[in-house]
Structure 1
Amino acid sequence: MTALQFSSVSKSFVAGRSGTVQALRRVDFTVDEGEVFGFVGPNGAGKSTTIKVMLDIIDDYEGEVRLYGVSARDAASRKGIAYVPESPALYEQFTPMEILRMALSMYGIRRDDEDAWCRRWLERFSIGHVADRRIRLLSKGTVQRVALAHAMVVSPRLLVLDEPLSGLDPVGRKDVVDILSEYKREGGAIFFTSHVLHDVERIADRFGFIHKGELVTIRSPRELAADRADRYIVRYRAAARLAEGATELREGEFEEERSDTELPAVLAELQNRGGHLLTVKPAVSLETVFFKILEGEAPAR
Structure 2
Amino acid sequence: MSLALEFRSVSKTFRSKGRTVQALRDVSFTVSEGEVFGFVGPNGAGKSTTIKVMLDVIDDYDGEVRLYGVSAREAAARRGVAYVPEAPALYEQFTPLEILRMALDMYGIRRDDREAWCMQWLERFSVAEYAKRAVRQLSKGNVQRVALAHAMVVSPRLLVLDEPLSGLDPVGRKDVVDILANYKRDGGAIFLTSHVLHDVERIADRFGFIHRGELITTRAPHELVAERADRYLVRYQAAAALGEAASSIRSGEFEQELAQADLPAFIARLQDGGGRIVTVKPAMSLETVFFQVLEGALKPVAEVPGQG
What TM-score range do you get, normalising by the shorter chain?
A: 0.7 to 0.9
Percent identity (aligned): 74
TM-score (norm 2): 0.86
Question: 2:92: which partner in 1?
Answer: 92
Q: Note the residue ranges of structure 1 that are not aligned, 5 or more in a row.
A: none
Q: Secondary structure at the match of 2:222?
A: helix
| 2:13 is equivalent to residue 33 of structure 1 | no
Cα separation, 2, equivalents of 1:281 and 1:101: 50
| 2:179 is equivalent to residue 179 of structure 1 | yes
Cα separation, 2, equivalents of 1:242 and 1:289: 27
Cα separation, 2, equivalents of 1:26 and 1:16: 23
Q: 1:161-181 CA distances to partner (integer Å, 9 max, x unpaired)?
A: 111111212222111111111
Question: 1:290: which partner in 2?
Answer: 290
Question: 1:158: which partner in 2?
Answer: 158
Q: 1:23-42 CA distances to partner (integer Å, 9 max, x unpaired)?
A: 10010000000000000011
Shift of 1:217: 0.7
Whether the 8 Å contact between 2:247 and 2:256 is mirrored in structure 1 is: yes
Matching of residues 230-245 of structure 1 within 5 Å: 230-235=230-235, 240=238, 244=242
Cα 1:225–1:289, aligned 2, differ >3 Å: closer, same or farther?
Answer: closer
Q: Output the amino acid matched with 2:191.
A: F
Cα separation, 2, equivalents of 1:108 and 1:260: 61
TM-score (norm 1): 0.87
Q: Output the amino acid matched with 2:163.
A: E
Whether the 8 Å contact between 2:240 and 2:252 is mirrored in structure 1 is: no
| 2:39 is equivalent to residue 48 of structure 1 | no
Shift of 1:116: 1.2
Question: 1:223: which partner in 2?
Answer: 223
Question: 2:8: which partner in 1?
Answer: 7
Q: 1:208-230 CA distances to partner (integer Å, 9 max, x unpaired)?
A: 01111111111111102202324
Question: 1:125: which partner in 2?
Answer: 125
Q: 1:121-177 CA distances to partner (integer Å, 9 max, x unpaired)?
A: 111111111111100111111111100000001110000011111121222211111
Q: Output the amino acid matched with 2:7.
A: F
Matching of residues 273-284 of structure 1 within 5 Å: 281-284=281-284
Deviates more, 1:121-130 or 1:63-72: 121-130
Cα 1:213–1:247, aligned 2, differ >3 Å: closer, same or farther?
Answer: closer
Whether the 8 Å contact between 2:241 and 2:254 is mirrored in structure 1 is: no
Shift of 1:235: 3.9
Whether the 8 Å contact between 1:65 and 1:72 is mirrored in structure 2 is: yes
Provide the aligned C-alpha RMSD in A: 2.7
Q: Secondary structure at the match of 1:295?
A: helix
Cα 1:280–1:130, aligned 2, differ >3 Å: closer, same or farther?
Answer: farther
Shift of 1:260: 10
Q: Note the residue ranges of structure 2 that are not aligned, 5 or more in a row.
A: 299-308
Q: 1:184-231 CA distances to partner (integer Å, 9 max, x unpaired)?
A: 111110001100100111110110011111111111111022023243
Shift of 1:297: 4.7
| 2:17 is equivalent to residue 16 of structure 1 | yes
Cα separation, 2, equivalents of 1:244 and 1:16: 45
Whether the 8 Å contact between 2:235 and 2:277 is mirrored in structure 1 is: no
Question: 2:303: which partner in 1?
Answer: none
Cα separation, 1, equivalents of 2:250 and 2:292: 24
Whether the 8 Å contact between 2:228 and 2:289 is mirrored in structure 1 is: no
Whether the 8 Å contact between 2:84 and 2:161 is mirrored in structure 1 is: yes
Deviates more, 1:185-194 or 1:282-291: 282-291
Cα 1:280–1:202, aligned 2, differ >3 Å: closer, same or farther?
Answer: farther
Cα separation, 2, equivalents of 1:204 and 1:57: 25
Shift of 1:60: 0.5
Matching of residues 254-273 of structure 1 within 5 Å: 254-257=254-257, 259=260
